[in-house]
Amino acid sequence: MAMKAMRAMRATRTKTTMLTASFYRYLWYCIRLIARYVYRPIPLPETPTYRADEDVTIIVPTIDAGEEFREAALSWLVGNPKEIIIVTEEKMLAPLQELANSVDPTRIRVLTVPFANKRLQMAHGIRNTTTDIIVFADDDAIWPPQLLPYVLACFEDQQVGGVGTSQRVKSVGKKMTVWEVLAGFRLTIRNIEIASATHIDGGIPCLSGRTAAYRTVILKDPDFLHGFTNDLWLNKYHLNSGDDKFLTRWMVSHGWNTYVQVCKEAELLSTMKPNWRFLKQVLRWTRNTWRSDFRSVFTERYVWTKHPYVCYTMIDKFINPLTLLVGPALVCYLLYKSTKPIDQGGYHLPAWDIVVSYLVWLLCTRTLKVLPHLWDRPKDIIYVPVFIIFGYYFAIMKIYALFTLHKTGWGTRSGIGDPATATTAAENVNEKVPRPVELGGPAPSHSRPYDVEMAQNVNNPYRA
């Protein structure tokens, strides 16, 4: 009897451990949900300080000139920005200039850099900007008509340096593939995370590079431009991707606030890889997240005091792969125990009961996580089992990504050049041409000058 009692106690402890872990994770998820639905976007001001036709330049680093780009550019022009600057590699100048001429030759400029390198292209666009606000956009980001006014509304607060938006997936074809649905599920979860983080402590893990706006004076800072284009992991591996992570960390470390407009008026559409190459995208994003979050939590550490909730979410993501894999590991252990008689240490529930209980739990909890997506697209509920499988694959991928952080290639675009080579080439070119206005060179006749002191001090409480 004593042995049976001890075994029953062990079984009870196992169940209690699983329930406690699950309760902890879903308690925090419920907190996120509550914060998401308490969150409110910043409304449009009656008399706005900033106007798109005077104060906004859209910078688009790209190596493509497809029909998606045309559709995206037309959606940007609806917001009436002062200028769109396309920055590409030299061999793409002709097709992109032709595209620009066919869309709006008066407001779209095409510039080139020696090699395809996103950060180098963004920096070149920054140097050629003359407006107060810069908006970075991916070449496939399709904006709703009111996106720019809602983004500019956040800059009424003079301490806000960067602004992001919510996102949805736009299908490449007539019907969404399973990969696009998975991407849609991920974006739904992300929209909840960024809205809740913004509401709880005003922070965000990342202002997504698909579309994000910044004050030009911040990005014209020579320190920023140098750090942005000479970003090394472990002082050895030159980074090209992860630009949005760098920008977000710069906001935090230099005393600027951020905000995210999570609302239909500012919700952009973006395409994702409609095939297995989506997994390569996810791998690149995962490596960028590991690198950036390590820096935020352990190296720079500003996030601990300025955005403690965001810091918690970063640490939670560090251990998330392990906690996710604990579930199936415990189920396997219980299945093994269920094969033994109870009087020999076996588990008291049959194998089918364990498996069915676990599957029902997974289906219910994962469906809850993507409920906002299913509300708009109920037919995607058939993909929830695939989403569950993808979750375990993603946990293993995160561990793999952790041990391959030295791999800094783009992964999904063969045209992207080596980061170090591109930066060296750009520096060689810059030595032969007049330095841009923010570095002391003459300002173009049509520009409003930005000097170094302005870039370093204006509206920045962390500057002396």
Q: State the pTM of this model.
A: 0.85
Longest Cα separation, the chain = 93
pLDDT tens across the length of the chain (464 residues): 555 555 555 555 655 655 666 677 778 888 999 999 999 999 999 999 999 999 999 999 999 878 889 999 999 999 999 999 999 999 999 999 999 999 999 999 999 999 899 999 999 999 999 999 999 999 999 999 999 999 999 999 999 999 999 999 999 988 999 999 999 999 999 999 999 999 999 999 999 999 999 999 999 999 999 999 999 999 999 999 999 999 999 999 999 999 999 999 999 999 999 999 999 999 999 999 999 999 999 999 999 999 999 999 999 999 999 888 988 888 888 888 877 777 666 667 788 888 898 899 999 989 999 999 999 999 999 999 999 999 999 999 999 999 999 998 875 555 455 555 555 555 554 444 444 333 333 333 333 333 333 344 444 333 33
142 is a domain residue: no
120 is a domain residue: no
171 is a domain residue: yes
337: domain range? 11-40+157-412+450-458
60 is a domain residue: no
The structural domain count of the chain equals 1
Helix axes 118-127 and 419-432, enclosed angle (nearest 10): 30
CA pair distance 303, 306, nearest whole angstrom? 5
253 is a domain residue: yes
Alpha-carbon distances, residue 85 vs 125, 152, 455 (angstroms): 7, 19, 21
Alpha-carbon distances, residue 330 vs 6, 235, 337 (angstroms): 19, 40, 10
226 is a domain residue: yes
Report the C-alpha dihedral over residues 270, 276, 282, 284, rounded to 10 degrees: -100
378 is a domain residue: yes
Three-class SS state of 305: helix
134 is a domain residue: no
